[in-house]
Amino acid sequence: MKESGFDYLSKITAIDYNDHVDVIYLLYSIGTKKEEIIKVTLKPEKLEVETIMGLFRAADWYERELSEMFGITIRGRKMKRLLLELWNGAEYPLRKNFIWGKDYKRLQ
């Protein structure tokens, strides 16, 4: 897509549907002013995608959000927690199976 002129990464996000998780990439072409959406569907037992940091540096924080908030493994990157550095919960807060109060422990 980058070779086709889509030179700007607008966003990466994920949607949890319980039986699968979709990772959504929004790419933009500054020259043609067109947007392209790429969707990757992941099975719950294999939540992992390849990093695109080599193509788009803007992917850094988006991939971190996928990892920390959804529990998606980003192949090709080693990350320590930053967004949830003080989080004591065992689960991922943007997943459908997360229940506030069950795994959440208030920081002292």
- The domain that holds 40 is classified in CATH as 3.30.460.80
Residue 87 has what pLDDT? 64
More confident residue, 3 or 6: 6
Give residue-wise pLDDT tens across range 41-94.
Answer: 999 899 999 999 999 999 999 999 998 889 899 999 887 777 666 566 567 877
Question: Of the candidates 12, 8, 9, 10, which has an alpha carbon nearest to the alpha carbon of residue 65?
Answer: 12
| Residue 61 Cα distances to 23, 40, 79, 102, 107, angstroms | 14, 18, 11, 28, 24
Please state, rounded to an integer, the average pLDDT across all residues of the chain: 86
Q: pTM of the full predicted structure? A: 0.82
Residue 97 has what pLDDT? 75
| Residue 100 Cα distances to 54, 85, 90, angstroms | 36, 18, 11
Domain that holds residue 65: 1-108
Residue 74 has what pLDDT? 94
pLDDT of residue 26 exceeding 50? yes
Number of domains in the chain: 1
